């Protein structure tokens, strides 16, 4: 099977492209992307080209841009060109140059797909790229997904060249009499991937001439195994996760508890070392909090409780109106009303309803989350109690304590919302007017 037939077969088998729709091709000017653009044209696809000039290689970057521009002009292909201040972006976002270039590149592609109403972007990863990726992931310990290598399709990114080698690409370009440019940084062994490419792979091919094909096929088989693995993991996750809690007893009963924990917490951007530490501490005292870039996890009595960090930022202090309906949070509203009270009138005894002696209230009323040292006099008691201790008695975990709402009158807490009013605002036979707040 020749080169064009291999690509055609790959596109059909993996259902990568729709012949009726235009394809956005990521074109650097190098051999791989030039072969991708040319073979898609040979197969009759309509393409548009996206070229990124990261302004990192001086004259070489300008040469590549000019080369791609000339090719698109000759072939009458619509070119989308973008120049980036990559160093500035990396500095601003505290990331490596490689990560900055990747982010800028794929953000540009996403923008073009939206603006041009295109389905996908085709990129030129080939079989040796896949081999390098599998080896790098193996060395990094990324698990079964990493060993699956580069996927033919990932969201709106497709890779039609994954079944062909670099040599096949160069042979195809020679047959087409198509020139290409060479990125000299690919010939330097300073970057990890380049070290694998230049130092490890040549030696491996001496020992195992079919190493690339064997690793490629092994990765494909692992992709099928990974789908079975993910199906099983999803079933286990459903058993151990309830709301925002990972139930520890159920977790321990799974066949591979640390792996199940990894699958849950890695999606919250916890790294393998953190997850290993959390797992080792499952039998420890409750109260310890772990943080990733996006989430916090609390080791509670019988569960790991997780929350997004943005929920911490929602803590607030808000003045309540004298009367009416008010939104306190996205999912909580208060209905505030006043009425005359006659001794002996029945009062609601609902947890979500507060009735205060109006004359004992200092305005404005404020609803807020707890502060260190907050105290109140729980209804029915004569002494003061720390709000945190009161909530501990109710078996509230740290995150629930942090989100607990308090209604305050002056410097006094009138209501631990939904739990207990304060004795000092009790309605008595002497009360003439009451203020009621209903949580809805």
pLDDT along the chain (440 residues), means of 10: 94 94 96 97 97 93 96 97 95 90 95 95 95 87 82 95 95 96 65 82 88 88 88 94 96 94 94 93 90 93 90 73 93 95 89 95 95 95 94 92 95 96 96 96
Distance in angstroms (rounded) separating the CA atoms of residues 28 and 252: 50
3-state SS assignment for residue 120: coil
Helix axes 166-176, 3-14, angle to 10 degrees: 120
Question: Which residue is associated with the tokens 């002497």?
Answer: 430
The predicted pLDDT at position 410 comes to: 93
- The string of DSSP codes covering 149-195 is -S-SEETTEE-TTTTS-HHHHHHHHHHHT------GGGG-S-SHHHH
The predicted pLDDT at position 286 comes to: 87
End-to-end CA separation in angstroms for the chain? 69
Distance in angstroms (rounded) separating the CA atoms of residues 311 and 288: 18
Bridge partners (DSSP) of residue 296 are: 291, 307
The predicted pLDDT at position 401 comes to: 93
For each of the domains in the chain, give its residue range(s) and CATH number, in order of start. Answer: 3-220 (3.40.50.620), 243-311 (no CATH), 316-439 (3.50.40.10)
Instruction: Enumerate helices (H) and strands (E) in the chain, giving the number of each.
Output: 16, 22
The predicted pLDDT at position 223 comes to: 87
The predicted pLDDT at position 11 comes to: 97
Pair 386, 372: CB distance under 8 Å: no
Pair 309, 253: CB distance under 8 Å: no
In 3D space, the residue among 106, 52, 46 whose CA is nearest the CA of residue 81 turns out to be 52
Q: Report CA Rg, the chain.
A: 32
Pair 357, 428: CB distance under 8 Å: yes
């Amino acid at each position: 099977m020749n080169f064009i037939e291999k690509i055609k077969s790959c596109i059909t088998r993996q259902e990568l492209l729709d012949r009726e729709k235009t394809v956005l091709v990521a074109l650097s000017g190098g051999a791989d992307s030039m072969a991708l653009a040319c073979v898609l044209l040979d197969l009759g696809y309509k393409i548009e080209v996206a070229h990124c000039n990261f302004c990192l290689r001086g004259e070489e970057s300008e040469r590549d841009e000019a080369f791609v521009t000339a090719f698109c002009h000759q072939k009458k292909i619509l070119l989308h060109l973008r120049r980036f201040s990559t160093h500035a972006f990396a500095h601003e976002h505290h990331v490596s140059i490689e990560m900055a270039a990747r982010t800028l590149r794929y953000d540009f592609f996403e923008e073009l797909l939206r603006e041009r109403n295109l389905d996908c972007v085709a990129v030129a990863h080939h079989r040796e790229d896949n081999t390098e990726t599998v080896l790098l992931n193996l060395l990094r310990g990324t698990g079964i997904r990493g060993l699956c290598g580069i996927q033919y399709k990932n969201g709106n990114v497709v890779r039609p060249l994954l079944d062909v080698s670099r040599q096949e690409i160069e042979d195809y370009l020679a047959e087409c009499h198509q020139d290409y440019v060479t990125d000299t940084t690919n010939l330097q062994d300073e970057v990890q991937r380049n070290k694998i490419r230049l130092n490890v792979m040549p030696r491996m091919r001496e020992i195992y001439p079919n190493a690339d094909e064997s690793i490629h096929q092994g990765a494909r088989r692992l992709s099928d195994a990974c789908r079975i693995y993910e199906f099983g993991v999803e079933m286990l996750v459903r058993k151990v996760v309830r709301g925002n809690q990972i139930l520890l007893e159920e977790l321990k009963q799974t066949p591979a508890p640390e792996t199940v924990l990894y699958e849950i917490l890695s999606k919250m951007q916890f790294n393998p070392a953190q997850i290993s530490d959390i797992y080792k501490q499952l039998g420890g005292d409750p109260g310890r909090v772990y943080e990733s870039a996006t989430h916090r996890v609390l080791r509670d009595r019988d569960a790991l409780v997780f929350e997004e960090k943005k929920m911490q930022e929602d803590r607030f202090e808000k003045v309540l109106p004298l009367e009416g309906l008010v939104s306190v949070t996205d999912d909580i509203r208060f209905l505030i009303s006043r009425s005359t009270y006659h001794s002996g009138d029945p009062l609601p005894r609902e947890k979500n309803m507060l009735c205060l002696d109006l004359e004992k209230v200092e305005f404005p009323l404020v609803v807020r989350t707890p502060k260190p040292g907050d105290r109140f006099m729980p209804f029915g008691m004569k002494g003061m109690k720390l709000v945190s201790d009161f909530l501990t008695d109710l078996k509230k975990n740290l995150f629930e304590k942090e989100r607990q709402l308090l209604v305050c009158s002056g410097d006094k807490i009138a209501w631990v919302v939904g739990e207990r009013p304060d004795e000092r605002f009790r309605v008595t036979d002497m009360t003439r007017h009451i203020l009621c707040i209903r949580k809805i």
